[in-house]
Amino acid sequence: MTVRTLAAATAVALCLGHTATAQEYNLSLAHWVPATHPLQVLGMEPWMQSITEESGGRITFTVYPAQQLGAAADHYDMARDGIADIAFINPGYQPGRFPILAAAELPFLFANATGAVRGLTEWYQQGGYDDMEMGDVYFCMALTHDPGTMHGKEPILVPEDVRGRTVRPANATEARFVNLLGGASVQVPAPAMREVLSNGTADITQSPWQSLYIFGADTLVTHHLDMPFYASINGFVMNRGMIDGMPEDLRTIMTNHCSPEAAETMSTGWAGAEAAGRASIAADPAHTMHTPNAEQVALWQAAAEPLTAEWLALMASQGRDGEAMLQGLRDALARYDGLYGQ
């Protein structure tokens, strides 16, 4: 073999080697909950395993939990900018940035985290709302926990019990609700709830049940409003360059795992784990559950009505038919038995 032939053969071999490497992907997945959180253990890990198996090992993952790559509120931008290939986000940590999806944050809308999150993902994707406000990433799916509630250092039973208190809300919509009720909001991500409760910055936190244990707040709040109060909307988003640059067969595997059905599957284990936390709290004599009657529930719902009016006004200011959009969301939730009070 001549030197020239050898050089050409080497170049071809290097090119082939590069092509093979380029079609094998180790994707970074960043999130801000502990690695032991049920969302990772029961949701993310089976999801990643399924993708790895279907791709024949050509897609693998490295997980960066507990804000290792950035603060909770920064995860959307991390996926947009390629700091992470996939990120778990809470859009409500960036108030006003994703106003359409914020409709799902309205209180007393979600009955559960399973059928409801399937309906939400379907509504957001099929309506094209994901491209409208998250077009600089690839929106994979919405995720949520079993509906959360308020947990305080003192009893909470009616809206008046929030007046004069300081609350760590779950998202921007709930922060607005707290303000409407005469309370003050201290908006920090869930991993910081223990800190603001322990140092006296907050009297009340919003949280699903098991997360009180996960984030170490269970010893700090001993009074619990026993009703499905809100859903904190989360989601998976992906770096658009990453997903668009994949070969078609691998891209199809990834997008098939980004669907309303995948959203329900991903959220199911998390929802069950959070719901189990309620039983633990209820069995602990150090804690008191406050269950509102029908009249008290009606007080909460009436107090929340201005939030819907504000959202509709915001949509109108953008030239959108908010009534039709919100009805579409309710219909999607009801289609999968996820609408509160249906």
Q: Digits of tens for pLDDT over the chain (342 positions)? A: 333 333 444 343 333 333 344 489 999 999 999 999 999 999 999 999 999 999 999 999 999 999 999 999 999 999 999 999 999 999 999 999 999 999 999 999 999 999 999 999 999 999 999 999 999 999 999 999 999 999 999 999 999 999 999 999 999 999 999 999 999 999 999 999 999 999 999 999 999 999 999 999 999 999 999 999 999 999 999 999 999 999 999 999 999 999 999 999 999 999 999 999 999 999 999 999 999 999 999 999 999 999 999 999 999 999 999 999 999 999 999 999 999 998
- The pLDDT tens digits for 39-48 are 999 999 999 9
- The pLDDT tens digits for 49-71 are 999 999 999 999 999 999 999 99
Q: Say if strands 86-89 and 25-30 run parallel, antiparallel, or are unpaired.
A: parallel
**Residues counted in the chain:** 342
C-alpha closest to that of 190 among 148, 155, 154: 148
C-alpha closest to that of 255 among 233, 238, 234: 238
Do 180 and 306 form a contact (C-beta atoms < 8 A)? yes
For residue 25, give the 3-state DSSP assignment: strand
Tokens 């509630």 -> residue: 149
Mean pLDDT in the chain?
A: 93
Q: What is the DSSP letter of 99?
A: T
Q: Domains in the chain, please, with CATH? A: 25-145+231-274 (3.40.190.170)
Tokens 């253990």 -> residue: 41
Residue 4: predicted pLDDT: 34
C-alpha closest to that of 222 among 164, 271, 270, 155: 155
